[in-house]
Structure 1
Amino acid sequence: MIFSDADFDHLMTTVAEAAAQEILPRFRNLVAGDISEKTSAIDLVTEADLLAEQRITAALKARFPSALIVGEEAYEADKSVVPALAHAELAFAIDPVDGTFNFAAGLPVFGTMVAVVANGETIASVIHDPVLGDTVTAMKGSGTFLRRQAGQARRLSVAAPAPLSAMTGAISWAHMDEPDRSRICSNLSKARMAFALNCSAYEYWMATSGKWHFIGHSKLMPWDHLAGVLAHQEAGGYTAKFDGSPYKPGETEGGIISAPDEESWQMIRREIIGA
Structure 2
Amino acid sequence: MARSALMNIMVNAALKAGRGLIRDFGEVENLQVSRKGPADFVTVADKRAEKVVMDELMKARPTYSFLMEEGGEIKGTDGMHRWIIDPIDGTTNFLHGVPLFAVAIALERNDEIVSSVIYNPVMDELFTAEKGNGAWLNNRRLRVAGRRSLADALMVTGINSQGRALDALQLRQLAHVTPAVAGIRRSGSISVDLAWLAAGRFDGVWEAGLKPWDVAPGLLMVREAGGFVTDYAGGTASIANGEVVAGNEVIQAALLKALQAVK
Out of 102, 115, 126, the residue aligned to residue 124 of structure 1 is 115
Deviations 1:4-41 (A, max 9, x none): 81121121011101110x211010413447524xxxxx
The aligned amino acid for 1:25 is R
Please point out which of 123, 131, 139 is paired with 1:140: 131
1:241 maps to which residue? Answer: 231
Give yes or no for the alignment of 1:257 onto 2:248: no
> In structure 1, the residue corresponding to 2:86 is in which secondary structure?
strand
Query: Among residues 46, 55, 58, which one is paired with 2:55 in the alignment?
Result: 58
Do structure 1's residue 203 and structure 2's residue 179 form an aligned pair? no
How far off its partner does 1:265 sit? 2.0
SS in 2 for 1:47: helix
**1:48-127 matched pairs, under 5 angstroms:** 48-75=45-72, 88-127=79-118
Q: Please tell me the root mean square deviation across aligned C-alpha atoms, in Å.
A: 2.3
Query: Partners in 2 of 1:58 and 1:126 — Cα distance?
Result: 16
Quick check: 1:102–1:108 contact (8 Å CA) kept in 2?
yes
Residue 270 of structure 1: CA displacement? 1.8
Partner SS for 1:265: helix
CA separation in 1, counterparts of 2:196 and 2:118?
12
Distance in 1 of aligned mates of 2:189 and 2:79:
27
Residue by residue over 1:137-177, the C-alpha shift from the partner in whole angstroms, topping out at 9 and shown as x without a partner, is 00000101111xxxxx1100001142111110112132662
Structure 2 residues not aligned, in runs of 5+: none
Q: CA deviation at 1:53?
A: 0.1
Q: CA separation in 2, counterparts of 1:24 and 1:256?
A: 29
Matched, 1:10 2:9: yes
Q: Matched residues in 2 for 1:136 and 1:95: separation?
A: 15
Distance in 2 (alpha carbons) for counterparts of 1:195 and 1:225: 18
> Residue 175 of structure 2 aligns with which residue?
186
Aligned pairs, number: 249
Give the structure-1-normalised TM-score: 0.84
Q: Deviations over 1:31-78 (max 9, x none)?
A: 447524xxxxxxx95222110101111111122112111111112xx5
Instruction: Report the CA distance shift for 1:29/1:123 in structure 2 as closer, same or farther (over 3 A).
Output: same
- Of 22, 25, 30, 1:24 maps to 22
TM-score (ref. length: structure 2): 0.87
After the TM superposition, which parts of structure 1 deviate over 4 Å for at least 4 consecutive aligned residues? none
User: Equivalent pairs: percent with the same residue?
Assistant: 23
Is contact 1:88–1:120 with CA below 8 Å preserved after alignment? no
* Residue of structure 2 aligned with 1:269, choices 232, 236, 256: 256
CA distance in 2, matches of 1:196, 1:33: 24
Contact 1:98 1:224 in 2 (8 A): yes
Shift of 1:112: 0.6
Q: 1:174 aligns with which of 149, 160, 184?
A: 160
Counterpart residue identity of residue 188, structure 1: V
Among 34, 39, 51, which residue is 1:35 paired with? 39
Q: 1:272 to 1:192 in 2, by over 3 A?
A: farther
Q: What stretches of structure 1 of length at least 5 have no aligned partner?
A: 37-43, 148-152
